[in-house]
């Protein structure tokens, strides 16, 4: 496509909502992925690591099953 000015470029031939909305969703998903990776990296560097969370869940599940 050829645009004669920047306004036409940003309008994307009348499809700007879909084009820029798609870019925004991709950026949002990538930001969420990077945030999750950073969180898991910090968690893995802790002494108890990721296993600590799994063990806590198992203990809570076991305690809940034994309450009855």
How many whole angstroms separate alpha carbon 58 and alpha carbon 4?
A: 63
- What HEC string does the chain produce? CCCCCHHHHHHHHHCHHHHHHHHHHHHHHHHHHHHHHHHHHHHHCCCCHHHHHHHHHHHHHHHHHHCC
How many whole angstroms separate alpha carbon 68 and alpha carbon 55?
A: 21
Query: Hey, CA dihedral for 7, 25, 44, 57, is it positive or negative?
Result: positive
Q: Is residue 14 pLDDT above 90, yes or no?
A: no
pLDDT at residue 59 in the model: 63
pLDDT at residue 48 in the model: 66
Tens of pLDDT, residues 27-60: 999 999 999 999 988 887 876 665 666 656 666 6
């Amino acid at each position: 496509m050829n645009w004669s000015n920047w306004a036409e470029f940003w309008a994307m031939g009348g499809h700007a909502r879909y084009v820029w909305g798609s870019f925004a969703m991709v950026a949002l998903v990538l930001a969420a992925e990077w945030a999750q990776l950073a969180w898991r990296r910090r968690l893995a560097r802790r002494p108890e690591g990721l296993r600590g969370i799994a063990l806590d869940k198992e203990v809570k599940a076991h305690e809940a099953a034994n309450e009855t």
